[in-house]
């Protein structure tokens, strides 16, 4: 299967005149799957320096509107993602859910380790630090209507692209893969070329490990389908 057939032939994002995706670099494949040692910066989060610089500028602009952008998730290693995967798998299994169904529930929101955009140091999950934080903050309803982060969502939808941050998991009904995540933004000048190189990897050899739960159902056929539906199931502006 030629996975690059799923890529939009124009890598530049249409309509975003300031955005110039970086040229493809020979990034260590281990960095692309969260197993390397990337150069990351940030206080209470970890991002590539270029992404952090853009985040700081965006945060300063938002602060002028009394919105305090707080990063609640940024870089995530392979081992960290694997622990999330295994924990969820075991929880679903304890509820009597079969392996295949457990995997399908996990990938509604959580990624297979080695396939997360958070491995790249380009993506962030954010909230507004102003309102009180109660329970799980990354819930869709908290970013809409009377939710505490509705103002943040509205501001980001208008201004985030000015700082080259784009929403991968939109509400587009034609988009496959993960459900809508109004809190997840990606620094496009870095994530676009990294995705292009990522798609060229031998994913099965690099990702699968003996201690990955549900491994019997994670064969090559599943992985290729998952790459197409979930890794590529993002807004076309990031392809």
Q: Using an 8 Å Cβ cutoff, are 110 and 179 in contact? A: no
Q: What is the pTM of this model?
A: 0.88
Chain segment 60-75, per-residue pLDDT in tens: 999 999 999 999 999 9
User: For residue 218, how far is the Cα from the chain centroid?
Assistant: 21
Q: Strands 123-128 and 165-166, how do they pair?
A: unpaired
Please report, for the domain that includes residue 134, its CATH number: 3.30.1380.10
pLDDT at 19: 55
Q: Using an 8 Å Cβ cutoff, are 173 and 183 in contact? A: no
- Mean pLDDT (the chain) is 90
Does residue 10 register a pLDDT over 70? no
Tell me the percentage of the chain whose pLDDT exceeds 70.
90
Tell whether 226 is covered by a domain: yes
Tell whether 15 is covered by a domain: no
Other C-beta atoms within 10 Å of 151: how many?
17
pLDDT at 25: 57
Tokens linked to 77:
């290693």
3-class DSSP state of 102: helix
Q: How many domains does the chain contain in total?
A: 1
Tell whether 30 is covered by a domain: no
238: pLDDT confidence band, cut at 50, 70 and 90?
very high
Tell whether 155 is covered by a domain: yes
What is the average pLDDT across 156-162? 98
160: pLDDT confidence band, cut at 50, 70 and 90?
very high
pLDDT at 20: 54
Tell whether 12 is covered by a domain: no
Tell whether 121 is covered by a domain: yes
What one-character-per-residue DSSP string does 35-100 give? -S----B-SSS-B-HHHHHHHHHHHHHHHTTT--EEEEE----HHHHHHHHHHHHHHHHHTT--HH
Chain segment 16-25, per-residue pLDDT in tens: 434 556 554 5
Contacts of 5 (CB under 8 A, 6+ apart): none
What one-character-per-residue DSSP string does 159-174 give? HGGGGTEE-SS---TT
pLDDT at 2: 42
Tell whether 10 is covered by a domain: no
Tell whether 103 is covered by a domain: yes
pLDDT at 23: 54
Residue 22 DSSP code: P
Contacts of 72 (CB under 8 A, 6+ apart): 125, 126, 127, 137, 138, 183
pLDDT at 22: 59
Give the Cα separation of 89 and 83 in Å (integer): 10
11: pLDDT confidence band, cut at 50, 70 and 90?
very low
Chain segment 81-116, per-residue pLDDT in tens: 999 999 999 999 999 999 999 999 999 999 999 999
**124 φ, ψ (degrees, to nearest 5):** -135, 150
Tokens linked to 27:
């990034």
- Give the structural domain span for 152: 39-238
């Amino acid at each position: 299967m030629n996975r690059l057939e799923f890529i939009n032939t124009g890598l530049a994002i249409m309509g975003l005149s300031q955005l110039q995706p970086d040229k493809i670099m020979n990034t260590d494949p281990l960095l692309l799957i969260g197993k390397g040692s990337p150069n990351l910066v940030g206080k209470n989060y970890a991002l590539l320096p270029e992404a952090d610089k853009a985040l700081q500028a965006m945060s300063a602009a938002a602060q002028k509107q009394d919105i305090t952008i707080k990063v609640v998730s940024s870089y995530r290693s392979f081992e960290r993602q694997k622990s999330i995967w295994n924990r969820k798998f075991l929880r679903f299994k304890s509820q009597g859910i079969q392996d295949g169904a457990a995997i399908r529930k996990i990938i509604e929101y959580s990624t297979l380790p080695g396939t997360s955009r958070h491995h790249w140091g380009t993506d962030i999950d954010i909230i507004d630090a102003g309102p009180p934080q109660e329970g799980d903050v990354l819930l869709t309803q908290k970013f809409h209507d009377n939710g505490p982060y509705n103002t943040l969502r509205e501001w980001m939808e208008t201004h985030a692209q000015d700082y080259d941050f784009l929403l991968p998991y939109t509400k587009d009904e034609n988009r496959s893969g993960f459900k809508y995540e109004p809190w997840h933004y990606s620094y496009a000048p870095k994530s676009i070329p990294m995705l292009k190189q990522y798609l060229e990897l031998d994913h099965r050899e690099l990702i699968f490990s003996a201690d990955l739960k549900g491994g019997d159902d994670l064969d090559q056929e599943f992985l290729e389908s998952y790459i197409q539906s979930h890794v590529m199931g993002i807004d076309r502006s990031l392809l």
